[in-house]
Amino acid sequence: MSVILLFAILLMASMVAYMSYRWILSRKMLILISIAFQILALTVSILSFIGNVSLNIFVEAGFLVFGIFIPGGFFIKEYFALRRGNALKIKPPHTMETQENQNKKQEYRDLEISKKSSGTTHKYINHIMKEKQITALLKEIGEEDFLSSVKRNLNEAHAFVAMGECEKALFIYDSLLKFVEHSPGLYYNCGNIYYLMGDWFESVQNYKKALELNKKLQQSNKGKTAGLDKVQKQAAHHGEVDMASIYYNMGNAYFKLSQFDKAIQTYQEAVLLNPYIYEANENIARCFLALEKTEDAISYYKKAVEKDKKNYQVHFTLGKLYSEIGSFHDAVISFKQCVELNGSFAECLELLGKTLLRIEKYDDARKEFKKLIKMKPDHFMAHFYLGLSLYHLGEKEEALSFYKKVVQMKPDHYKAHYNIAMIQDELGKYDDAIYSLKKVIDLKPDFGNAYTSLGIIYTGLGRNLEALGIYSQGIKMNPEDYSLYYNMGLILAEMGRYPEAAEAYQNALEIEPDEFEINYRLAIALKEQKRYNEAADVFSNALRIRPDECKVYYNLSIIYTTLRRFDSAMESLKKAISLNGDLKLDAKINRSFENLRNRIEFKELVS
């Protein structure tokens, strides 16, 4: 049975290949449907063969019909059609002719006899006239018509690029390049289209071709510019592409290919040709960062700053680079220099304010965001960051007013709603805070912090069941947020539901195994269930995270005492008291240590 099935599998696989080839040629839906059933039959038979499963007669009949007989029918039909076609193609020459050909030949013979009888013969006739000269053809077509056609095609290609249909644009450019192979501009645009399509290798090849043709054009135009004025020189250089642009774009393509050394080289060529391409200097620095040469990146851009100290854009870019590597104080200096040179540069003001927030200079940040709001009153993010600055300065009511302005300008800004809720909670406006947090959940159902904060407010109000409900809802939307499980465990433990609390802590630990508080709380929940050995293991794991935590040693000493492991109990208790002397009094009166009280070392330890 296995051999027969294996033969059937091989035959079906061959039929799938055959029908796939037929579909590629014809693209008929009927063939595609047949292939789908073939693949199903082939899959069933392969799985049966691997699992050595016996199939009932209906399943076997099914995969034979769909896997072999139906495609076999296509094969036989095509075979006979091919035979009929070949029968027509292999007829011997000159033996069979159509009636039409015979009639024409008879007409030619009758005409020849007629000519001979009349005493004239046309055995030879004069040649046809020569083809029209190229110059005449060009004149007939018209240079304006040709250029108009090319312009129309280029406009169409640009429209395709604007719509994101780069393949259609590329087809037009490929067609044009068959007629105009010497145009660097066409190759340059092709390079840009390939870049947009993500084919950076082909992009580089087209930029190289553009460079090659451009250099040839420059050489041929060199001798034409002597003694010409500026306008005439520009006309003489008609057809050339800006070399700096080609090098810059090629550098971008190399960057995308992760060939950072080549990218640096081409960017530098661009800067040599045009020192005002500031993006090239910025990208060179980014190449150095990608090569993990941070110092080279910064020093390179510092040189750019030295060359052009009064250029605000250079200072701005240097500030961004400092921010990327975490040098926020240096970033602030660069951003401030940029603002001094151009006080209306809104993007720089925003980044300056955000960087000041990161280094906790909240008052300075407030000033920058106020400037930005004065410049752009509808800049909602400036209002948001101003509210954050005021909050950190303790001006909560004023911060709240700015967050409310944010949600007026942008009602779906969930972070502003969340910050409003946090301030309302701190101001004791719990009902308002609950309303705001529910709004956040509506806007951003996967924002875990909203569920956590809402659950904490409910817990603080003694509404534990509602807190458990919101945590359960949050876990459905954010199953990887360990804080939801942890907070649920805290409530369950407070309610004395230790088995459920332990389960919640276990779920939290699976996500965040190295969090001390989760380990500690889990161990306490296990201890309360008298699962002492498990609790001791979890406490030991907690000590691996925090080796000098006195409360862990103290709880371990209680567990070891209960398990009558007195030496281990004394060792843990000594460590706990050495870390916190206040535990002596508690140990002296704690009934958990009844079995240790008669030991001399215990008496000496707590005395």
In a domain, 420, yes or no: no
In a domain, 593, yes or no: yes
What range does the domain containing 595 cover?
548-607
| Residue 300 pLDDT class (50, 70, 90 cuts) | confident
3-state secondary structure 266-333: HHHHHHHHCCCCHHHHHHHHHHHHHCCCHHHHHHHHHHHHHHCCCCHHHHHHHHHHHHHCCCHHHHHH
- The proportion of the chain whose per-residue pLDDT surpasses 90, expressed as a percent, equals 49
The reported pLDDT for the residue numbered 109 is 52
Q: How far is CA 36 from CA 6, 20, 75, 215, in A?
A: 20, 10, 17, 56
Residues 6 or more apart in contact with residue 364 via CB below 8 angstroms: 356
Would you say residue 124 has pLDDT above 90? Answer: no
**Whether 170 contacts 193, CB under 8 Å:** yes
Give the global pTM. Answer: 0.59
In a domain, 558, yes or no: yes
Q: pLDDT by residue (tens digit) across 450-506?
A: 999 999 999 999 999 999 999 999 999 999 999 999 999 999 999 999 999 999 999
3-state secondary structure 40-62: HHHHHHHHHHHHCCCCCHHHHHH
In a domain, 322, yes or no: no
3-state secondary structure 114-178: HHHHCCCCCCCCCCCCCCCCHHHHHHHHCHHHHHHHHHHHHHHHHHHHHCCCHHHHHHHHHHHHH
Distance CA(177)–CA(195), nearest Å, equals: 18
Distance CA(349)–CA(362), nearest Å, equals: 14
Would you say residue 101 has pLDDT above 90? Answer: no
Residues of 516-530 as b/e, b for ≥16 C-beta within 10 angstroms? eebbbbbbbbbbeee
Taking residues 315-336, what's their average pLDDT?
90
The reported pLDDT for the residue numbered 574 is 93
Query: 568: which 2 tokens?
Result: 């281990």
Would you say residue 62 has pLDDT above 60? Answer: yes
Would you say residue 174 has pLDDT above 90? Answer: no
Residues 6 or more apart in contact with residue 388 via CB below 8 angstroms: 357, 399, 419
Residues 6 or more apart in contact with residue 13 via CB below 8 angstroms: 42
At which of 86, 105, 140 does a domain end?
86
Q: Which residue has the tokens 């970033």?
A: 331
In a domain, 27, yes or no: yes
In a domain, 582, yes or no: yes
At which of 86, 102, 127 does a domain end?
86
The reported pLDDT for the residue numbered 44 is 77
At which of 86, 121, 144 does a domain end?
86
Report the domain count for the chain.
2
* Opening angle at CA 425, ends 422 and 427, nearest 5: 110
Q: By mean pLDDT, which of 207-211, 252-256, 284-288, 293-297 is the weakest?
A: 293-297
Query: 509: which 2 tokens?
Result: 């630990």
Would you say residue 102 has pLDDT above 70? Answer: no
In a domain, 66, yes or no: yes
Residue predicted with more confidence, 334 or 24: 334
Say whether 418 sits in a helix, a strand or coil.
helix
In a domain, 163, yes or no: no
Taking residues 94-112, what's their average pLDDT?
49
Distance in Å from the first CA to the final CA of the chain? 87
